[in-house]
Structure 1
C-alpha cells in the first residue's frame, strides 16, 4: 500500500506539472503566456494576451488548473485513504503547478489549483474559500488581495468545518507558498501600486 500511495503522490505532482495555460495557448494559436503579458502561465495572463480568444482560453485554463487539484483529491477520497494522505496528495498537485518538472520548474501562482484541492476536501470548504474570494473581489476590486485573503482564511475554514489537523497544517503550508509566489503583488499592495481587478494577475 505504501508503494501505491507513493506512486499516487508522484502522479499527482506530475498532473500538477501539466501547464494548462501553455497547452491551451498553443492549441488556440495564442502567444506563449511565459513570453507575453506578465510572463506568468496562469488564467489571468491568458486573458490578458488572448485577444478575442482570451475569455474562452482563460476559462479553460482556470477550469484545467482547478481540476489538477480537484481530481487527485477526489480519487484519494474515493479510495478511502487516510485524511493526511488525501491532503498530502492534493499538496503534491499544488506543488506540481508551482514547480512543474515539464516546464523548468517555473509554474503559476497556485490559486486555482489550491481552490480545486479545497473543493476536493469538501464542498463546504471549497464554497467558503471561493465565496470569500468573490465577496472581497466585488468589494475591493483588487483581485490579488482577494485571492490572498481567501487563501489565508482557508486553514481557518478547514479547522471549523472539518477539524482535521492534517488538512489545516498542509493548507497553511500551501498558503505560505502562495503568498511567496505573490510577493510582487504584496509589494505593490503595500506601496499602493497594485491595480484594480480588471488589471490584475491573481488566479495564476
Structure 2
C-alpha cells in the first residue's frame, strides 16, 4: 500500500465523528505498568551513550471535561517509579500531565487515541550519585501518545484499557568535576487501566 493510501486511510479514520453526548465534568484514576523501558544518558565530553532498562509503575488521579462529541481533556497528577536494572535502584518521579482523548463510535466499547504532554520532577536521580549535584532533583518534560478502548459500565461510569508510549526528556546536567554535560531521556511502553466518573 502506498504512502498516499495510508495517509488517506488515516485521515478517514480520524474524520469519523464521535458519538454525541452531554458535556460534563469528569474525574478518575489511572494505573500503569511498563512493558518495556529504557533510560539513556549521553555524555558530551566523553562521547559515550549509556543505556539501561527499567520497570516503571504509576498511579494518577485526574480531573477534566467531556465535550458533547465525547472527547475529553484531562489534567492529571501522577506519581511514577523507575526501577533501574543495572543500577539496582528505584527512582521516584511526580508531576502534572495534560492529555486529550479522542473517542469514536456509538457502541458500549469505544476505541480511542490520545496525545499529551507533562512536567515531572525526578527525585534524587541515581546518575547524580558521587557528583557535585548529588541529592538534587531533575525537572523534565514528557510527550505521550496512547490508543485503546473505553467501556461504558454505567451512565456515569467508564473503564479504559490502553497502550501508551511516553518519552521524558530531563534537564541538561552539568558535572563540574569533569566539565561534563549529560543529556538524559527515559522512554517506556506501558499498559494503562483506568476508571472515569461523569458529574
TM over 0.5: no
Range of TM-score over shorter length: under 0.3
TM-score normalized with structure 1 length:
0.22
More helix by proportion, 1 or 2? 1
Instruction: Name the structure with the higher strand share.
Output: 2
Q: Which has the larger Rg?
A: 2
Report the TM-score, using the length of structure 2 for normalisation: 0.22
